[in-house]
Chain A
Amino acid sequence: MEKFIAIEGITKRFPAPGGGTTTVFEDLWLSMARGEFTCVIGHSGCGKTTVLNILAGLDVPSEGAVIVDNKAIEGPSLDRAVIFQGHSLLPWRTVMGNVSYAVSSKWRRLSAKDVTEHAQQVIDLVGLTGAEHKHPSELSGGMKQRVGIARALSIEPKIMLMDEPFSALDALTRGTLQDEVRRICLTTGQTAFMITHDVDEAIYLSDRIVLMTNGPGAVIAEIVENPLPKDRKRTDFHKHPRYYGVRNHIIDFLVTRSKSFAAEQGATFDRRNVPVVRPSTSSSHDGDIDGLVTSINRQVRLLNTTKKMPRGKSLKERL
């Protein structure tokens, strides 16, 4: 595989409050091909944002290095756009001001009119038409996130680094933007690295899903190859026969294996050659049905609690 981005044995340590250091993650190895969409899933605090910051060039690893396009990263670059976890909008600038700041930073000689025009296109793309002259304080969480997305898209980067970019959005907007990001990545051949907590989002968007164990001392436990076809649609990818296999595998990891992984694998685990898995439906068929039922149950429960609907008979009982 051609390595466009190569994370080579990075470790991050922070000084601990009582002296000494805490190791957030240790000896991570990961490579990504050009045009590949990679999602990272792991529990809060395992160091996902730190990894992304290192990829962005905003942070430096305590050990190891990151190679992009055969060159070691030495700092941030306009080729790598970042969608920050906390929006990071400039509060004294309007929506238009925030996006055009990025545009005029990328193309320094562009006339003010062209900058505005280009920024407007991207603002329209993320569905913020009409909010151009609002300040971030006047926007909802989801709108702020869309400004962050627009700002990153506007500079037409080679690599998109996204830190939970859709977390504050309602389901409808999230779907639209997921489609948009996926479309842009596919048509422009973007290489994307995205952090998410949403398993379905990871399955819909990514080619590979990186599973990180809990911190401190987090490692990449395995890389899940997405068995769904590349031309999947948001409307029906969850009906694909292999969908529940992947989904259950990931949820199973998050619920149980992410905690116990270090103890089980011990020192013998080869961090440099992380196992790549392609969850299949055939091997654990019963598990899949079970997973399906619990997942539907969970959704029914969610509906019951959020919509205050009368609690129906559980699906499992009915089956």
Chain B
Amino acid sequence: MNASPGVRLAAAFVSVVIFIVFIAAWHAATQGTSAVQGMDPEYAKLMGITATSGKSPMPGPLDVGAKLWEHLKQPFYDKGPNDKGIGIQLGYSILRVLLGYLLAVLVAIPLGFLIGMSAVMSRALDPFIQVLKPISPLAWMPLALYTIKDSSLSAIFVIFICSVWPMLINTAFGVAAVRKEWLNVARTLEVGAIRRAFTIVLPAAAPTILTGMRISIGIAWLVIVAAEMLVGGTGIGYFVWNEWNNLSITNVIIAILVIGLVGMVLDQILARIARSVTFPE
């Protein structure tokens, strides 16, 4: 994916054009001039003044921009359980994702090694993995809430359960696919099992493992929003739901934007690590 400078420049230009067109279209679409007619006055009152003043209830880019600036100026304020800065909410979500994810790493990678190195374990555990893997992580939620009895821990558990499978499967696959000739090098040098695992199997399987870890972090970030909508309390998912209940579409849009950006950053971090362990043959 090494594009020439010319291609890169052209691509950047097209990106900027698309962005401007999108903002302009959005702006134009939310500039609505016709008065809203025939709206139930009760409902109009519920939707706020914008609904009756002829302006579209959908916020335009300027509204969102202004609100975003407000959030950025003060990301970490805390005014009680229903009014926390978006930074704090994001912090909660990221913390939960990282905890669940790290737990999954600690389980999936050693277990993946075991499965990858042992044909017996691979066959023995395969049916369990096949059944557990396709279960929606949110389906575990009630069970988690019932057994753990703590909404925050339950969210972490859900992150764990959804990110464990891609890592487990990729680790097992990467370990099983380590070239025999590399293992033979270690064997002729009488390298013990532990050292072999760290000096041959791990570096050889690392690119595959990192691919699994990258898939996992993506899924985990998708799932945390849904999980927090369910359990409530804190987190960016709860923030979205809460702002929907407050009918602040502006905040919902901001949250969507921020979720996308954080997801991208997480993915890029993993991509960078993946690049650092990839070796050309």
Given A86-B181, A88-B181: A77 touches B279 (CB 8 Å cut-off): no
Q: Which of A98-106, A113-121, A297-305 contacts B (4 or more CB under 8 A)?
A: A98-106
87-126 of chain A: CB within 8 A of chain B: 88, 90-92, 101-102, 105-106
B184 at the interface (CB under 8 A from A): yes
Are B281 and A76 in touch, CB under 8 angstroms?
no
Across the interface, A90 reaches (CB within 8 A) one of B187, B190, B200, B277, namely B200
Are B279 and A137 in touch, CB under 8 angstroms?
yes
Are A155 and B279 in touch, CB under 8 angstroms?
no
Q: Which secondary structure dominates chain A's binding surface? A: loop
Given A101-B199, A135-B279, A137-B279: A88 touches B187 (CB 8 Å cut-off): no
Nearest Cβ on chain A to B59's Cβ, whole angstroms: 51
A68 contact set on B, CB distance < 8 A: none
Nearest Cβ on chain A to B30's Cβ, whole angstroms: 53
B75 at the interface (CB under 8 A from A): no
B263 at the interface (CB under 8 A from A): no
B80 at the interface (CB under 8 A from A): no
Across the interface, B188 reaches (CB within 8 A) one of A82, A91, A135, namely A82
A241 at the interface (CB under 8 A from B): no
B104 at the interface (CB under 8 A from A): no
Nearest Cβ on chain A to B185's Cβ, whole angstroms: 5
B119 at the interface (CB under 8 A from A): no
B203 at the interface (CB under 8 A from A): yes
B200 contact set on A, CB distance < 8 A: 90
Nearest Cβ on chain B to A102's Cβ, whole angstroms: 6
A253 at the interface (CB under 8 A from B): no
Nearest Cβ on chain A to B199's Cβ, whole angstroms: 7
A66 at the interface (CB under 8 A from B): no
Are B190 and A77 in touch, CB under 8 angstroms?
yes
A58 at the interface (CB under 8 A from B): yes
A56 contact set on B, CB distance < 8 A: 188
CB-nearest residue of chain B to A138: B280
Are B191 and A105 in touch, CB under 8 angstroms?
yes
Are A135 and B280 in touch, CB under 8 angstroms?
yes
C-alpha gap A57/B185 in the complex (Å): 12
C-alpha gap A90/B186 in the complex (Å): 10
Are A92 and B203 in touch, CB under 8 angstroms?
yes
Best-buried of B181, B188, B199, B200 by chain A (most CB within 10 Å)? B188
B-contact bits for A73-85, CB 8 A (1 contact / 0 none):
0011110111010
B162 contact set on A, CB distance < 8 A: none
Given A84-B181, A84-B184, A90-B182: A106 touches B189 (CB 8 Å cut-off): yes
Given A91-B279, A91-B280, A135-B280: A105 touches B189 (CB 8 Å cut-off): yes
Nearest Cβ on chain A to B193's Cβ, whole angstroms: 13
B191 contact set on A, CB distance < 8 A: 105
C-alpha gap A251/B188 in the complex (Å): 34
C-alpha gap A101/B186 in the complex (Å): 9
B105 contact set on A, CB distance < 8 A: none
CB-nearest residue of chain B to A79: B190
Are A81 and B188 in touch, CB under 8 angstroms?
yes
Given A92-B204, A135-B279, A137-B280: A80 touches B188 (CB 8 Å cut-off): yes
Nearest Cβ on chain B to A145's Cβ, whole angstroms: 14
A-contact bits for B19-56, CB 8 A (1 contact / 0 none):
00000000000000000000000000000000000000
Nearest Cβ on chain A to B150's Cβ, whole angstroms: 43
Across the interface, A105 reaches (CB within 8 A) one of B182, B190, B206, namely B190
Nearest Cβ on chain B to A98's Cβ, whole angstroms: 9
B181 contact set on A, CB distance < 8 A: 84, 86, 88
Are B184 and A101 in touch, CB under 8 angstroms?
no
C-alpha gap A106/B190 in the complex (Å): 8
CB-nearest residue of chain A to B184: A58
Are B189 and A102 in touch, CB under 8 angstroms?
yes
Are B188 and A101 in touch, CB under 8 angstroms?
no
CB-nearest residue of chain A to B179: A88
Nearest Cβ on chain B to A4's Cβ, whole angstroms: 19
Are A76 and B199 in touch, CB under 8 angstroms?
no
Are B189 and A78 in touch, CB under 8 angstroms?
yes
B185 contact set on A, CB distance < 8 A: 84, 88, 90
A-contact bits for B161-197, CB 8 A (1 contact / 0 none):
0000000000000000000011011111111000000
A76 contact set on B, CB distance < 8 A: 184, 187-190
B186 contact set on A, CB distance < 8 A: 105
A78 contact set on B, CB distance < 8 A: 188-190
- List 7 extra interface pairs beyond A84-B181, A84-B184, A135-B280, CB under 8 A: A77-B190, A90-B182, A90-B203, A92-B206, A105-B186, A105-B189, A106-B189
Pick 27 A–B contacts, CB within 8 A, sort by A: A56-B188, A57-B187, A57-B188, A58-B188, A75-B187, A76-B184, A76-B189, A77-B188, A77-B190, A78-B189, A80-B188, A81-B188, A82-B184, A84-B184, A84-B185, A90-B182, A90-B185, A91-B279, A91-B280, A92-B203, A92-B206, A92-B279, A101-B189, A105-B191, A135-B279, A135-B280, A137-B280
Chain B positions within 8 Å of A, measured between CB atoms, are: 181-182, 184-191, 199-200, 203-204, 206, 277, 279-281
